[in-house]
Homo-oligomer: A and B are copies of this chain.
């Protein structure tokens, strides 16, 4: 399927890269942008009509951002009978009904998986799940900027304003970060998610929203001392056809799933009547994840039945790829060559391959059948207390 990408910025380039480097049934014929990079004159155009009037181009990927002129570009594409994919949560939320009605009237597909959760295939899984389950509720961390700020304030005890400056320096926040820190970005993603989940249309007005603009490091320290973590959470729930949705800072136990969500990651959860709780954690934004998610939506459109052939080449096994240290609790005497550190009743090994640790275990078992072995995660292996 030949497609055009509208906008060759961060997201557009990510989509282009993903499609270019994988044989996925989708080909980029044109890219629309204001500027034509040197050497790309055969692909990049400044004239939208060459795309609209090209019967070979079956779909467009909108990567312009904002409400206008993105809205005009998308509606002209739909009018021209082309499928549309988009990562633009503001546009999709604001014109949800209008764009869906136009696409349905024209018989084209409209997909926007990366508009909520970036690289996380949240909306696709939400849609898929509800085909034979009932979605009872959804919730989660849908904004990486604010998660980065809250996580930094917690892990390093810094001020809100310092955390925000860091986020801006890292490209996780805009020069004007209001949409993120006042919760508007999450408000839109919550409305989109709830609309899909509950077969209805929610607008921004239906989602009462608080942001994190007023949180202080004293607030964060107080919560931490009590065993809680504060996250900016979206919620939506349905009961008997009635829906409630909201966005707010929320206190959770540190041991909650959301408590382990670091830096700019997102974590979104659905509760289905049959499937129960299903959580998705990943990069909520960024050129590569978001661009790739846009490409995946295009492939979903292109692929009838979603049949993907399965390769049957035999695997080439190589255990030296990932040697790591082990904790071995045993009364057996062990060859000192493999020992990095001795503890009471246990040792820490040097990095070992699967073949080596299994060989060692076999010799240990002869003397101590109750011996216990555990691999060490890098953060555990580097713990000074083990050395």
Contacts and interface: CB of A to CB of B under 8 A. Distances in A.
B19 A253 contact: no
Interface in A193-247: 194-196, 198-202, 206, 208, 210, 214-216, 219, 223, 226, 228, 230, 233, 235, 237-239, 241-246
Interface stretch (A161-169, A172-180, A316-324): A316-324
A248 B277 CA distance: 26
B125 A121 contact: yes
A199 to B, nearest CB: 4
A300 interface: yes
A288 interface: yes
A317 B131 contact: no
Interface in A307-356: 307-322, 327, 329, 353-355
Interface string A253-264: 101110111000
A196 B310 contact: yes
A116 B56 CA distance: 40
A306 interface: yes
Contact of A283 (B219, B277, B320): B277
Nearest to A265: B277
Contact of A315 (B24, B101, B243, B278): B243
A274 B385 contact: no
Given A200-B316, A242-B318, A251-B376, A278 B281 contact: yes
Interface string A97-110: 10011001000011
Contact of A242 (B279, B309, B316, B354): B316
Residue of A241, A277, A321, A376 with highest tally of chain B CB at under 10 A: A321
A254 B128 CA distance: 32
Contact of A313 (B200, B228, B376, B379): B200
Contacts of A260: 255-257, 259-260
Interface stretch (A3-11, A59-67, A73-81, A366-374): A366-374
A119 interface: yes
A317 B204 CA distance: 12
A278 B369 CA distance: 38
Contacts of A259: 255, 260
Q: How many copies does the complex hold?
A: 2
A375 to B, nearest CB: 4
A204 to B, nearest CB: 12
Given A131-B296, A201-B313, A248-B375, 18 more contacts: A17-B274, A119-B274, A128-B300, A128-B306, A131-B299, A132-B295, A206-B317, A208-B355, A214-B369, A243-B317, A248-B357, A249-B374, A249-B375, A251-B377, A253-B377, A303-B305, A304-B304, A305-B305
A329 B318 CA distance: 56
Given A243-B318, A255-B260, A380-B252, A132 B308 contact: no
A120 B131 CA distance: 15
A43 interface: no
Interface in A100-149: 100-101, 104, 109-110, 119-121, 124-125, 127-129, 131-134
Contact of A248 (B296, B300, B373, B383): B373
A95 interface: no
Contacts of A12: none
A89 to B, nearest CB: 16
B277 A280 contact: no
A321 B373 contact: no
Interface string A267-281: 000001111111111
A226 B283 CA distance: 30
A55 B101 CA distance: 38
A91 interface: no
